[in-house]
Structure 1
């Protein structure tokens, strides 16, 4: 979690407080206004926490995907090396067989 994300969350909460307080101040004042302001702050704070949690989960999933990609790349490379070795041995056997066959035909 970056400090930038935390700063944006704090700005969200403060702006929700100011917006709700000023907006309700345009109407007749009543004691319920503080409850509305508090509810708006809690709601925006929960939204900010949810966004931060989502960001952390996405980063974790991205790291897991990177790890899987690396392991797949290593596995594919090892399979490629093994297949190359097997193909080389088969090619050598076929070359030897062709060479012996050609020797027999030319005698």
Structure 2
């Protein structure tokens, strides 16, 4: 969690406090329970958003690790297939060379 996220969460809570306090004092019927519950609600919302962001970053890191693993596996398979193909091509050239020698005899 970055400092910027914490600052944004605090701004959300403070703005919820100011909004509910001003809104309820408009009619001179200020209820501190409503103001406190609005602050708690916005704080919970901020923490929910931050936890979702953290979870998404964790999932992204796992996907990157899997992608690297798959890339390495594909690369090793490619090298293995290339090696086998080179062996087959070499044997084919040897057989073609032997057939060519037999035809010219």
Structure 2 length-normalised TM: 0.97
Aligned counterparts of 1:75 and 1:27: Cα–Cα separation in 2: 69
Report the counterpart of residue 100 of structure 1 in structure 2: 98
> What are the residue-to-residue correspondences of 1:35-50 with 2, within 5 Å?
35-50=33-48
Report the counterpart of residue 23 of structure 2 in structure 1: 23
- Higher relative contact order, structure no. (Cα contacts within 8 Å, ≥ 6 residues apart): 1
Report the counterpart of residue 5 of structure 1 in structure 2: 5
Aligned counterparts of 2:77 and 2:27: Cα–Cα separation in 1: 73
Q: Which runs of 4+ in 1 moved over 3 A?
A: none
Deviation at 1:28, TM superposition (A): 2.8
Which of 81, 84, 87 does residue 83 from structure 1 map onto? Answer: 81
Deviation at 1:27, TM superposition (A): 1.2
- 1:32-61 Cα distance to aligned partner (Å, 9 max, x none): x10110110010000000000000000000
Aligned counterparts of 2:51 and 2:16: Cα–Cα separation in 1: 20
Which of 67, 70, 82 does residue 69 from structure 1 map onto? Answer: 67
Where in structure 1 are there 5+ consecutive unaligned residues? Answer: none
Look up the SS of the partner of 1:26 in the other structure: helix
How many residues get paired? 105
